[in-house]
Amino acid sequence: MSQPDKPADQPAKKPKKDEEEDALIFTPISIARARHASAHGPSIVDKSKSPKKEQKPGKSKSKTGKPVTPAASDNSLFSGTNGCLLASFLVAAFVVGGILGGMAGGGLLLWANGSGGLVFAGDTPTPTLTPSPTPAPAETSTPTPTPEPVPTISIEDVIAGVIPSVVTVINQQHNDYSGFSEERVVGSGVIIDSRGYIATNNHVVDVPQDLSVILPDGRELEAELVAANPAEDLAILKIDIADLPVIKWGDSSQVRPGQIVYAIGSPLGDFPSSVSFGIVSGLNRALEIDKFVIDGLIQTDAAINRGSSGGPLINHEGEVIGINTFIIRESEERGIAEGIAFAIPSQTAKNLLIPWIAAYTGESVPIPASEETE
């Protein structure tokens, strides 16, 4: 006899064992435990509460009695609704982050490009050449060049340059008062003009008769008396020859006592071109010669002998600073003296001799007459 059918709306009553399994699976705690167990294995609590039951392979049944296949994704963090939400959140975060990052990066690029701080490969500006300042040349200590010593001409060379202009003057006199006799007066002279004009002392050519000049090379030439002044003991002779070496005038106003000087002449007429030296012993000396007083003389201790009168007194540069004129050997009142000689200053000699030459050659400077200056 068949049993009456149960109402359709009443579910079939599950066995107690199945209910416990359903409660164990679908409660939140069981879900968490199941996920933990799938990731790390069963916990110690689960092991201690109940022994692990071996689940037979098979399909579980739902409350309706239908078999339920457990989803493989139930044990994953991205399974079900939670996985969809998390994925959506990550996608949205990436999109928003990309947009914000692009805006920030674009703004930074624009700012950098506008300020010139960033240069792109496709838009390389032409570099402006800024002239670098030329460094000032370093000051170098230039050593002071040592001046080369100026070669000094030796006194020997100086005197050698003066000797060709110093001559010997001869005044050959004839005396017929008490029979035939001759007297030879010898002195010195100096060439002051290349046209043959020679300066000497007046007392050498006083009472002239046969005048002649012996040049340093030995030639003897007749001489003519051009002018003379016994008050200054100066005279000029002229020989008929040109292109003669001449002396160089010095400044007698610069002469000082103690200065070294040299005298050149023909002592005794037998030793032409003799040289002696000494110092300037004094200045502005006065001396009486043949009733004439000559002042302003230069005193020297250079040896001047008979025959040296009319020769030059020169300085260390070879310049004529005086015309040798007189020596003192002895005095009736004071006795014998040595090393006392005198020379006419070059300034006094020039003031007389140069105008005489100019007048003799037809120039406008008159020749002073000896009578007018007595």
Q: What whole-number distance in Å separates Cα of residue 311 and Cα of residue 329?
A: 19
What is the spatial distance between Cα 201 and Cα 232, in angstroms, rounded to a whole number? 9
From the candidates 165, 188, 193, 203, which is the catalytic residue? 203
Q: Are 300 and 341 in contact (CB under 8 A)?
A: yes
Instruction: State the Cα–Cα distance between residues 248 and 242, nearest whole angstrom.
Output: 17
CA-to-CA distance for 1 and 191, rounded, in angstroms?
Answer: 195
Exactly one of 165, 188, 193, 233 is catalytic; name it: 233
Cα dihedral sign for 38, 39, 44, 45?
Answer: negative
Annotated catalytic residue 243:
no
Active site residue 233: yes
Q: How far is CA 103 from the centre of its chain?
A: 67
Of the candidates 165, 266, 309, 346, the residue annotated as catalytic is 309
d(CA 367, CA 374): 15
Question: Is 309 annotated as catalytic?
Answer: yes
**Token representation of residue 106:** 């674009």
Going by the DSSP 8-state scheme, the letter that residue 114 receives in this structure is: H
> In sequence order, what are the beta bridge partners of 168?
188, 214
Residue 227 has φ and ψ, to the nearest 5°, of -160, 160
DSSP 3-state helix, strand, coil percentages of the chain (rounded to 5)? 30, 30, 40
Name every residue whose Cβ is closer than 8 Å to that of residue 12 and which is 6 or more positions away in sequence: 65
Catalytic positions, please?
A: 203, 233, 309
